[in-house]
Amino acid sequence: MKDRIQEVRQNALSALEEARDEKAVADLAVRFLGRKGEVSALLREVSSLPVEVRPEAGQLANILKKELSSAFEAAEKRLAEAAAETAGTLDVTLPGRRLAQGRFHPLTQVCDEICRAFVRMGFSVVEGPEVEADYYNFEALNFPPEHPARDMQDTFFVSEKVVLRTHTSPLQVRTMEKTRPPVRVIAPGKVYRCDSDITHTPMFQQVEGLVVDEGIRFSDLKGVLAAFVHQIFAPDTPLRFRPSFFPFTEPSAEVDIGCVMCDGSGCRVCGHTGWLEILGSGMVHPAVFENVGYDPEKYTGFAFGLGVERIAMLKYGIDDIRRFYENDARFLGQF
């Protein structure tokens, strides 16, 4: 019996020495000290021994039980301390984690590019309110109250006389009220219309342009816009001026560029015409000059308003304007 006790002791201690984690120690504790474990089996055997050897064998088996209990306890403690220590250390061999890098929204990038093109031509930048008085958004721009021309822009009303501006043209009036000619400004900003499909969103961005001085002619408008188009798109991009109507310009023209998707041969994007509209423009209407106290006999000027999303869609070949506003980082990260 003494040899059996010695053998269990040896096996338990050498298995414990090899245990590398707390789970291995716990498994060994079950194997040796559990209810059906090897030490319990020894203790059961003791009771069946002849009475003269029973006390000594019982004593030895109980000493073994105590010894192994403390050995397992000590091993558990040692391994737990070692695990806690490693948890706090830095593994310098692990690969680094890449930080997601922020970037400007594609529309911000395109708007900046548009503004830089005009600033290089001597324009300065002005800004104005997005919640706008009916007077600046419509009336001073020669849209009389109740006039059907107001239907051209589906308006969000804040109250009877206050609207979310439907275009950046109010900045024409606000600028001329504050300054005397010569005027040469652009006004970038958000505008709002009750509109939503693959080429229209309820909030979009425009860049307005206004030039006023003595002797400004339609040919100046053509020269500035051609120079702009050739900076933003390819230098040989064709453009054309198509007669149009705006209450605050006369004559008025919309500017089309040769379709950048099909090089003018006709495709789905340009409705098989070979041309794409990018902006509205015209010579400032004398009624607008009168509203701001400029003498229409002395001064002439031109104005234009372009859609930033439209330019961005053409530049990058995007066929649905809503992509810009869905906040999908996989889409936005490409620009």
Shortest distance, CB of residue 113 to ligand FA5, whole angstroms? 16
Q: Considering beta carbons, is residue 68 or 207 the nearer one to ligand FA5?
A: 207
Residue 227 token pair? 């120079």
Q: Considering beta carbons, is residue 16 or 211 the nearer one to ligand FA5?
A: 211
Q: Considering beta carbons, is residue 150 or 310 the nearer one to ligand FA5?
A: 310
Residue 158 token pair? 């804040």
Q: Among 126, 224, 303, 312, which residue interacts with ligand FA5 (rule: CB under 6 A)?
A: 303
Q: How many residues bind ligand FA5 (CB under 6 A)?
A: 26
Q: Among 233, 282, 285, 291, which residue interacts with ligand FA5 (rule: CB under 6 A)?
A: 282
Shortest distance, CB of residue 248 to ligand FA5, whole angstroms? 6
Q: Is 123 in the site for ligand FA5 (CB under 6 A)?
A: no
Q: Is 130 in the site for ligand FA5 (CB under 6 A)?
A: no
The contact pattern for ligand FA5, residues 235-254, with x = CB under 6 A and - = no contact, is: -----------x--x--x--
Could you say which residues in the range 198-237 bind ligand FA5, by CB under 6 A? 200-201, 204, 206, 208
SS (H, E, C) the chain: CHHHHHHHHHHHHHHHHHCCCHHHHHHHHHHHHCCCCHHHHHHHHHHCCCCCCHHHHHHHHHHHHHHHHHHHHHHHHHHHHHHHHHHCCCCCCCCCCCCCCCCCCHHHHHHHHHHHHHHHCCCEECCCCCEEEHHHHCHHHCCCCCCHHHHHCCCCEEECCEEECCCCCHHHHHHHHHCCCCEEEEEEEEEECCCCECCECCEEEEEEEEEEECCCCHHHHHHHHHHHHHHHCCCCCCEEEEEEEECCEEEEEEEEEECCCCCCCCCCCCCCCCEEEEEEEEEECHHHHHHHCCCCCCCEEEEEEEEHHHHHHHHHCCCCHHHHHCCCHHHHCCC
Shortest distance, CB of residue 281 to ligand FA5, whole angstroms? 5
Q: Is 189 in the site for ligand FA5 (CB under 6 A)?
A: no
Q: Is 195 in the site for ligand FA5 (CB under 6 A)?
A: yes
Q: Among 257, 280, 289, 312, which residue interacts with ligand FA5 (rule: CB under 6 A)?
A: 280
Among the listed ranges 75-83, 92-100, 129-137, 302-310, the one in contact with ligand FA5 (CB under 6 A) is 302-310
Q: Among 169, 175, 291, 300, which residue interacts with ligand FA5 (rule: CB under 6 A)?
A: 169
Q: Give me the residues that bind ligand FA5 (CB under 6 A), please.
A: 153, 167, 169, 193, 195, 200-201, 204, 206, 208, 246, 249, 252, 277, 279-282, 303-307, 309-310, 321
